[in-house]
Chains A and B, each alone.
Chain A
Amino acid sequence: MTILVDHFPINQPTGSHDYGPANVPQGATTYVLRLARNTTNTPTFWPNAATQVQATIFLSTDGGVTFPVIAGSMTAVGGTLIGPSGQQLAESSFTATVPVAAAGLRAKATVIVTNGPLISQVTVEAS
């Protein structure tokens, strides 16, 4: 897994913001986006359950001029979550696959915040 955006700090008001772009490794078909959540160890991250996020990975085939291809997307809300393991959930994330790998791709993450601000960290990976 190649890290394209590594725990990049987010302090974003309501609205849309892009993170990246970064070059995608040759042959990549799997994309992961992670947003750090509110936990006991990260009390300033995304504490408000009313703060909603739509996070999407977009791909460019023209060197980063346009990003017409969606690699995957998620929506999530803030607050402290207890996951299926019974532990506080440290991240909201998605892992998406694309059917065909392409050469020369660039990727960016677009984060749209409702009822911000969003304080968090974003990580994007590809393999």
Chain B
Amino acid sequence: MAIAVNQVVSVTGSGVTSVTTASITTTTGNLFVANVAYYVGGGQPFSSITDSKSNSWSSESIGDQQSGTGGGRQRYVANGTGGSSHTFTYNSSITDYPAFVVYEVSGADTTTPLAETNNSGALTGGTSYSLALSVTCPPNKLILAYACSNWAVAETVSQTGSFTADKNLGSQGVNEANLSSHLDVTTTGSSTFSFSFGGASENYIIGMSAWKEAAAGDTLFAQASM
């Protein structure tokens, strides 16, 4: 079975210590990947990601990145437990303004699904940004990318390039922003996640991760361009 995005859920919060997604029906054995953007103006808020099936979210694909007062990271569960009434929760240690996105991915390697990552670190002062990740195929890969920002006001963000925008959670000034997108990769080469925005210059971070199809085993390399 080809690796593919099954479904995506999201929730944003303002002045909260946790947010929980809608309950969905998921499948045991699938990969779950969470992108979360949070506000670090009052300190480091990230505490944990949990779900109603008691999966362990200890695996971090992209660690904490910060730009200005905006932060974000990506975590995952390989070969997770699924089922009906499945919810996902982002827990903060202090009052936070998060934007939380969770992917369910089918067809992923159940032991070591994470193939490669790249992250931008702090970005500021521009009006458009991009980050590239190269993978060697076969087997097929799925790239999950996110861009987080501490947009203080409502802004227009436009996805550019070949990625599919799954969630574009603008801030409206009351929560962090999170643009989460994916790309199915079937040929060797570099894939670039790009976006531009209208409004005041803000602080951004970008993270990208490539996920292996089941029974994969190949050589990968990463390349970043700004």
Residues of A within 8 A of B (CB): 31, 37, 52, 56, 68-77, 81, 83-85, 89, 91-99
Contact B16 A74 (CB under 8 A): yes
What are the 9 tightest A-B residue pairs by CB atom distance, in nearest-first order? Answer: A92-B15, A73-B20, A70-B23, A96-B11, A98-B22, A75-B18, A74-B16, A94-B13, A89-B15
Contact status A94-B12, CB under 8 Å: yes
* Among candidates B7, B11, B17, residue contacting A76 with C-beta atoms closer than 8 Å: B17
B→A interface (CB under 8 Å): 7-24, 39, 41, 69, 85, 87, 89, 95, 97, 150, 152, 167, 173-174
- Return chain A residues, CB-CB under 8 Å to B12: 94-96
Q: What's the least CB distance linking B159 to chain A, in Å?
A: 17
Contacting residues, chain A, for B39 (C-beta < 8 A):
84
Contact partners of A91 in chain B: CB under 8 A: 14-15
Given A84-B39, A84-B69, A85-B152, is A72 in contact with B173 using a C-beta cutoff of 8 Å? no
Q: Is A92 within 8 A of B97, CB to CB?
A: no
Q: How many A-B residue pairs have CB under 8 A?
A: 99
Which residues of chain B have C-beta atoms less than 8 A from A89's C-beta? 14-15, 174
Partner of B22, one of A81, A83, A93, A99: A99
B interface, over-half SS: strand
**Distance in angstroms between the alpha carbons of A119 and B20 in the assembled complex:** 23
A83 and B11 within 8 A (CB):
no
Given contacts A68-B85, A77-B95, A84-B150, contact A96 B15 (CB under 8 A): no
- What's the Cα separation between A85 and B24 when bound, in Å? 34
Contact B22 A71, beta carbon cutoff 8 Å: yes
> Which of B14, B85, B95 sits near A70, CB closer than 8 Å?
B85
Question: Do B23 and A75 touch across chains, with their CB atoms under 8 A apart?
Answer: no
Which B residues touch A76, using CB under 8 A?
Answer: 15-17, 95
Bound Cα distance A74, B152 (Å): 22
- The residues of B that contact A95 with a CB separation of less than 8 Å are 11-13
Contacts of B18 in A (CB 8 A): 73-75
* 14 A-B contact pairs sorted by A residue (CB < 8 Å): A31-B22, A69-B23, A69-B85, A70-B23, A70-B85, A72-B19, A72-B21, A76-B16, A83-B14, A83-B174, A84-B69, A91-B14, A94-B16, A97-B9
